[in-house]
A and B are shown apart, each in its own frame.
Chain A
Amino acid sequence: MISKEEVQHIAKLARLELTEKEVEKMQKDLSSILDYFNLLKKAPLSAKILAEQNFGGQTFRKDEVVSSHDIADELIGAAPDKKDDYIKVKTVF
């Protein structure tokens, strides 16, 4: 079983506030889901080799400059707290 502290640590990394009850449920759910993921340990070793081969042959695409339409006002308009053309946030420090 995943510990309470571990769930709380992961939630903090994800910037997600969880209630006591949610942490408890998450411990249970996450444990059974991670147990299920152990199935992958059975996967043949050839997977690693295959993946490395494929990554070696990866083709990169060119950087493209895409001109976007002028929707700056709409994008700023969606923010809950703003002043003129700025999005307002709480003090960081």
Chain B
Amino acid sequence: MGFGNWDFKTMDLTQLTIKEAHNGLRNKQFSSKDLTLAYLEKIKKSDKELNAYLSVYEEQALIQASEADKKIAYGNFGMLTGLPCAIKDAIMVEGLKCTSASKILENYVAPYDATVVKKLKKQGAVILGKTNLDEFAMGGSGENSAYGPTKNPHDKTRVAGGSSSGSAAAVAANMACFALGSDTGGSIRLPSSFCGVTGLKPTYGAVSRYGLIAFGSSLDQIGPIAKTVDDCRIIFDAIKGKDPLDATSIEPEISNFKFQISNLCIGVPKEYFVKGIDPEVERIIKDAIKKAKNAGAEIVEISLPSIEFALACYYIIAPSEASANLARFDGIKYGFSVDGKDLLDVYLKSKGKGFGNEVKRRIIIGTYVLSSGYYDAYYNKAQEVRKLIQQDFAKAFEKVDLIFCPVSPVPAIKIGERTDDPLSMYLMDIYTVSVNLAGLPALSLPAGKVGNLPVGLQIIGNHFQENKILSVASQIEIN
């Protein structure tokens, strides 16, 4: 989009991409305060209905904006300086409430900044507020929030997707220039697909998780949700890198090479196009693959034979890790507590009243599969199968550069459609969880629509090949 001719006085500033807004700030066509006020206005107008934000910090955002404007006036600023963003409420921002959309943390105030937040603040980004999610990031629809579901901006009778529901909806409805989400089994990609925005789940270890409320520690990863592929790249560059406070983080060697799609080989896993996929979604994904082929890419069919086990494997490993990680919320150390006759009673009652249904379900699943007598049959077996899935991808990436497949077998579902049947809800994650089990990077790129419902193409790369994913995505992006 060229914007030399735009009239910034009359136009809607909230529609700008990061690049466009940055250029506008640099050219003094508007200030960070103008931008921030425009977003705050948009949130006031739209968010009552959408419920994307759990909290909005108008006063603080305006202070951050005026600080950014000073930086800009001195000419000392980066790509994200002065740009208003939203942070998933599982990521801590010092001094602000961090609820993880759970009642058990309803009054918890973050004592420090997550490393990613520290990095955004250092660049001078403006934090508008904290966004809604499935409680403790457990869910694919956004309906498991203790504070009500986020609605899909494209159809308010439908879900925004989860678990980073509010982050994706806020970007889609122009209530934030960009947002941070987290992805344990698809939680960035699924809502990005449902809301028609671009979301990147980075390689395991590429971005520090320090200050992210832990769910599945061998799977969790923080990543960007934005309007375009370029915007995702800018945010990823700002937040990636080794952090001494997260032992799993490393300094990734990510090349800046500009990959040309015509030199690349793209694999299409045959196991991803079987029964269960919506025919319209299948058509859109196949059209996107055709587009890559027309751009000169070589397309080959590949096989990931162990992928049929991925969902079962994930729903053993993730709840196991969650049941351990959530043990800390016991009514003693954080905000919410229910009184009882002795210490055990405080634990039982605080957890019983503080956690919602899905979180309880996952704690029970995790505790069950880790309990003696079942440990080998479930947890150990799942760890073995995880290796098979990793091996499948490793073999595939010997032959192909990237893998194209759907993000979800269906577009956004109706609110309430699957809430009574947890297994049918879990099946929505069938194309996303394997990426987390293998620690790979993957992007959700808007590829088309079924009616007015967006559908995302999933582009999976080998470890630390975010650059290759982003290069190819920007060459087939719908403008």
Which residues of A are at the interface with B, using a C-beta cutoff of 8 A? 7, 10-11, 13-19, 22, 25-26, 29-30, 32-34, 36-37, 39-44, 46-48, 50-51, 54, 61, 64, 66, 68-69, 71, 74-75, 77-81, 87, 89-92
B384 touches A75 (CB 8 A): no
Additional A-B contacts beyond A10-B371, A16-B360, A90-B340 (16; CB < 8 A): A14-B364, A15-B330, A15-B347, A16-B352, A17-B351, A18-B352, A22-B357, A30-B361, A37-B315, A37-B316, A43-B388, A64-B247, A79-B333, A79-B334, A89-B346, A90-B346
Chain A residues in 8 Å Cβ range of B387: 47, 50-51, 54
Chain A residues in 8 Å Cβ range of B313: 40
| Residue from A37, A48, A61, A90 with most neighbouring chain B CB atoms (10 Å) | A37
Chain B residues in 8 Å Cβ range of A36: 311-312, 315, 423
A44 touches B348 (CB 8 A): no
Question: In the complex, which of the residues A50, A61, A75, A92 contacts B111, with contact meaning CB atoms closer than 8 Å?
Answer: A75
Report, nearest first, the 9 A-B pairs whose CB atoms are least far apart.
Answer: A17-B352, A74-B111, A47-B384, A17-B348, A80-B337, A51-B384, A15-B347, A14-B367, A90-B343
Chain B residues in 8 Å Cβ range of A19: 352
Chain A residues in 8 Å Cβ range of B349: 17
Q: Does B363 belong to the interface (CB within 8 Å)?
A: yes
Chain A residues in 8 Å Cβ range of B355: 16
A25 to B352, CA, bound (A): 15
Chain A residues in 8 Å Cβ range of B360: 16, 18, 22, 26
B367 touches A43 (CB 8 A): no
| Residue from A17, A36, A42 with most neighbouring chain B CB atoms (10 Å) | A17
Question: In the complex, which of the residues A26, A39, A54, A77 contacts B308, with contact meaning CB atoms closer than 8 Å?
Answer: A39
Chain A residue nearest to B108 (CB atoms) is A78
A11 touching B332 in the complex, CB below 8 Å, given contacts A78-B108, A90-B343? no
**Interface residues on chain B, number (Cβ under 8 Å):** 62
Which residues of B are at the interface with A, using a C-beta cutoff of 8 A? 108-109, 111-112, 244-245, 247, 306, 308-309, 311-313, 315-316, 323, 327, 330-337, 340-349, 351-353, 355, 357, 360-361, 363-369, 371, 378, 381-385, 387-388, 391, 422-423, 426
B343 touches A91 (CB 8 A): yes
A30 touching B365 in the complex, CB below 8 Å, given contacts A18-B352, A39-B309, A54-B387? yes
| Residue from A41, A43, A46, A74 with most neighbouring chain B CB atoms (10 Å) | A43
Chain A residue nearest to B244 (CB atoms) is A66
Cβ of B331 to closest chain A Cβ, rounded Å: 7
Chain B residues in 8 Å Cβ range of A68: 245
A92 to B348, CA, bound (A): 14
A50 to B391, CA, bound (A): 9
Question: In the complex, which of the residues A11, A15, A40 contacts B309, with contact meaning CB atoms closer than 8 Å?
Answer: A40
A10 touches B244 (CB 8 A): no
Question: In the complex, which of the residues A54, A78, A89 contacts B109, with contact meaning CB atoms closer than 8 Å?
Answer: A78
Tell me what chain A mostly uses at the interface: helix, strand, loop, or mixed.
Answer: helix
A78 touches B312 (CB 8 A): no
Chain A residues in 8 Å Cβ range of B346: 89-90
A15 touching B327 in the complex, CB below 8 Å, given contacts A43-B309, A47-B388? yes
A33 touches B365 (CB 8 A): yes
A79 to B108, CA, bound (A): 9
A79 touching B368 in the complex, CB below 8 Å, given contacts A15-B344, A92-B343? no
A71 touches B111 (CB 8 A): yes
Chain B residue nearest to A67 (CB atoms) is B244
A10 to B373, CA, bound (A): 12
A47 touches B385 (CB 8 A): yes
22 CB-based A-B contacts, threshold 8 Å: A10-B368, A13-B367, A14-B363, A14-B366, A15-B344, A16-B352, A22-B357, A30-B361, A32-B423, A33-B423, A36-B312, A37-B315, A37-B316, A39-B312, A40-B378, A47-B381, A50-B384, A50-B387, A71-B112, A74-B111, A79-B333, A81-B332
